[in-house]
């Protein structure tokens, strides 16, 4: 069994990006600039945004965090998005999700101009990704495909089973894994799937993205499979300073000995998600997509 080290892989990619940014600046260009809108004070969102700011620093990017209180109105938020859409100093921006219940998340996603949508959530980017056209790829799926490539894990003709059909992980990952060049045979499972374990046992690459700690047990995994654990559930843990620990969707201790490759949580998919955002921001700054 080999551990897939997302932390080390993402560090290598960030170093490559930083070298590229240094060359751009040496040639008279300017550093890419990522902005993030953070609404309210959700602990998870605060951490994600802080990690994105740190990643920007590592890549030599500028970053700006724009905070609004949880009672911000939808009109105010949409107006802020319009301002960022028009700001030529900002190459790309994200609105950290989830948003408070009174805000229509889909309206917010669709308000971001597709050429600044470095999260790849706008329907234009989602649609272009499905068609295999240049676009900003959704960050978590792009990070997963990058990890598979980095570790030379064969995908062509292989069976890839994804548990979870969310708009940010399952669906866009299915589109990427079946793309020409990746060439996996994809099955997407969800809460209505019958005979789930029979399906997962056929997977050469099994991706767990459902948000249920330890859901994937050893009997659900084919010997020699590659297992990608996307889950990051905060589980209370009094022994930690933070009061919680992050738990993946895979019963790591039992599953790892059966696999050829497996991602840990934390340190697997999470850091790759952030690095994909950095890659999208660089591509936005260089107008490589639009």
Say what angle helices 6-26 and 139-150 make with each other, to 10 degrees: 100
Closest C-alpha to 95, from 71, 72, 121? 121
User: Do 17 and 279 contact (CB within 8 A), yes or no?
Assistant: yes
Q: Is 2 a catalytic residue?
A: no
Q: Which is nearer to ligand NAP, 64 or 166 (CB)?
A: 166
Q: Rule CB under 6 A: is residue 209 a binding residue for ligand NAP?
A: yes
- Contacts of ligand NAP in 5-44 (CB under 6 A): none
Contact assessment for residue 99 and residue 105, using Cβ atoms and an 8 Å cutoff? yes
Alpha carbon distance 176, 271 (integer Å) = 19
Alpha-helical runs (H) found in the chain: 6-26, 43-59, 74-86, 105-111, 123-131, 139-150, 170-177, 196-200, 252-255, 269-285
Identify whether 98 is preceded by a cis peptide bond (ω within 30 of 0): yes
Pairing relation of β-strands 226-229 and 261-262? parallel
List the structure tokens of 38: 């953070």
- Two tokens at 117? 């949508």
Of the candidates 81, 203, 269, 278, which one interacts with ligand NAP according to CB under 6 A?
A: 269
Residues between 144 and 183 with contacts to ligand NAP, criterion CB under 6 A: 163-166, 168-170
Q: Is residue 250 involved in binding ligand NAP (CB under 6 A)?
A: no
Task: Give yes or no: 52 in active site.
Answer: yes
Closer Cβ to ligand NAP, 155 or 276, answer by number: 276
Q: Is 96 a catalytic residue?
A: yes
- Contact between 214 and ligand NAP by CB under 6 A: the answer reads no
Instruction: Please give the residues from 120 up to 149 whose contact with ligand NAP meets the rule CB under 6 A.
Output: 140
Contact flag: residue 211 with ligand NAP (CB under 6 A): yes
Angle between helices 6-26 and 269-285 (to 10 degrees): 20
Q: In whole angstroms, what separates CA 13 from the centre of its chain?
A: 15
Q: How many residues bind ligand NAP (CB under 6 A)?
A: 25
**x/- string (CB under 6 A) for ligand NAP, residues 179-208?**
----------xxxxx--x------------
Among 5, 14, 52, 249, the active-site one is: 52
Select the span of 121-129, 151-159, 229-237, 278-286 touching ligand NAP (CB under 6 A): 229-237
Min CB(16)–ligand NAP separation in Å: 20
CA pair distance 281, 126, nearest whole angstrom: 17
Q: Which of 5, 117, 119, 229 is catalytic?
A: 119
The correct pick among 74, 185, 233, 260 for binding ligand NAP (CB under 6 A) is: 233
Which residue among the candidates 96, 129, 222, 249 is catalytic per the annotation? 96
- Residue 210 within binding range of ligand NAP, rule CB under 6 A: yes
Residues of this chain that interact with ligand NAP (CB under 6 A) are 140, 163-166, 168-170, 189-193, 196, 209-212, 230-233, 269-270, 273
Active site residues: 52, 96, 119
């Amino acid at each position: 069994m080999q551990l897939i080290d997302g932390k080390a892989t993402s560090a290598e990619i960030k170093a490559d990006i930083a070298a590229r940014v240094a060359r751009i600046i040496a040639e008279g260009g300017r550093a890419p600039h990522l902005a993030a809108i953070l609404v309210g004070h959700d602990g998870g969102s605060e951490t994600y945004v802080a990690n994105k700011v740190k990643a920007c620093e590592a890549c030599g990017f500028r970053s700006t965090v724009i905070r609004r209180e949880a009672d911000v109105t939808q009109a105010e938020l949409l107006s802020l998005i319009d301002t960022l859409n028009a700001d030529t100093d900002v190459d790309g921006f994200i609105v950290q999700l989830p948003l408070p219940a009174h805000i229509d998340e889909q309206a917010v996603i669709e308000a971001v101009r597709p050429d600044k949508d470095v999260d790849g959530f706008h329907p234009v980017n989602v649609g272009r990704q499905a068609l295999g056209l240049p676009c900003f790829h959704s960050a978590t799926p792009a990070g997963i495909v990058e990890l598979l490539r980095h570790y030379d894990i064969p995908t062509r003709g292989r069976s890839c089973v994804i548990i979870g059909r969310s708009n940010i992980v399952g669906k866009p990952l299915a589109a990427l894994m079946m793309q020409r060049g990746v060439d996996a045979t994809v099955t997407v499972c969800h809460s209505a799937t019958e005979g789930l374990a029979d399906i997962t046992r056929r997977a050469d690459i099994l991706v767990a993205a459902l948000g249920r700690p330890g859901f994937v047990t050893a009997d659900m995994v084919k010997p020699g499979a590659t297992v990608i654990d996307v889950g990051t559930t905060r589980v209370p843990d009094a022994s930690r300073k933070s009061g919680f620990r992050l738990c993946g969707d895979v019963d790591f201790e039992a599953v790892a000995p059966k696999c050829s490759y497996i991602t840990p949580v934390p340190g697997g998919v999470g850091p790759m998600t952030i690095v994909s955002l950095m890659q999208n921001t660089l591509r936005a700054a260089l107008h490589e997509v639009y």
